[in-house]
Chain A
Amino acid sequence: DVKVTQSSRYLVKRTGEKVFLECVQDMDHENMFWYRQDPGLGLRLIYFSYDVKMKEKGDIPEGYSVSREKKERFSLILESASTNQTSMYLCASRRSHRGWADTQYFGPGTRLTVL
């Protein structure tokens, strides 16, 4: 079974803090993704990566950056947290960006509150 883990289930930070959200997958997947999910807005893609050190902007990259130094780990960074970044953050992974039939697997999510 694919396992995607996220570093925290709940996180509370203050405005202006630098925040790191970590995601690890154990199935040697090439593709990794960061989403945020808010009521009424659905899943919105922040950034994704299809290989080590590669990153692509998603639909809402402003205020975020990412790092993928190792294949199994994809980090989301909030450079200076703001209250409008309070949200549920979901990490996902997928075997390959070339595999059109590949499934995307989600981690448990991190509920971030910025005060």
Chain B
Amino acid sequence: QKEVEQNSGPLSVPEGAIASLNCTYSDRVSQSFFWYRQYSGKSPELIMSIYSNGDKEDGRFTAQLNKASQYVSLLIRDSQPSDSATYLCAVNKDNQGGKLIFGQGTELSVKP
């Protein structure tokens, strides 16, 4: 079992719809969770971080964390074609020398 798992996609949604990206992790000691967006040929950029159970909203983006279920998700409301990218979930464990564990990424395609 991979430490961080994401559906590889591609996930296709129409413009204006809600895109839902999911991530599960295996280690209960995980403390902090990050969502990165990566456009083709570019480097990952941070979108959201979340540390506590519940929802965290930033503009059109909402991160949701459920530590009991070991599940973190990213919702993108009013999806735009410019949101088309690969979304990487990353998890931090305190005893790993500062390194993040990344999922394989989910490719999102928003169709006009």
A48 & B88 in contact (Cβ 8 Å cutoff): no
A43 & B98 in contact (Cβ 8 Å cutoff): no
Highest count of chain A CB atoms <10 Å: which of B88, B92, B103? B92
A104 & B90 in contact (Cβ 8 Å cutoff): yes
- Bound: A30/B100 CA distance, A: 15
Residues of B near A104 (CB, < 8 A) are 34, 46, 90, 100
A97 & B97 in contact (Cβ 8 Å cutoff): yes
B75-112 interface bits toward A, Cβ cutoff 8 Å, 1 = contact, 0 = none: 00000000000001010101001111011110000000
Interface size class of B (residues with CB under 8 A): 20 to 34
Q: Please judge, given known A-B contacts A42-B104, A108-B42, whether A100 and B99 are in contact too, CB under 8 Å.
A: no
Q: Could you list 13 examples of A-B contacts with CB < 8 Å? A: A30-B98, A42-B103, A43-B44, A43-B88, A48-B98, A97-B98, A101-B49, A101-B92, A103-B49, A104-B34, A104-B90, A106-B45, A107-B43
Binding site for A on B (CB under 8 A): 31-32, 34, 36, 42-46, 49, 51, 88, 90, 92, 94, 97-100, 102-105
With contacts A101-B31, A106-B43 known, what are 15 further pairs, Cβ within 8 A? A31-B97, A42-B88, A42-B105, A43-B44, A43-B88, A45-B99, A96-B98, A97-B97, A100-B31, A100-B94, A101-B51, A101-B92, A106-B36, A106-B44, A109-B43
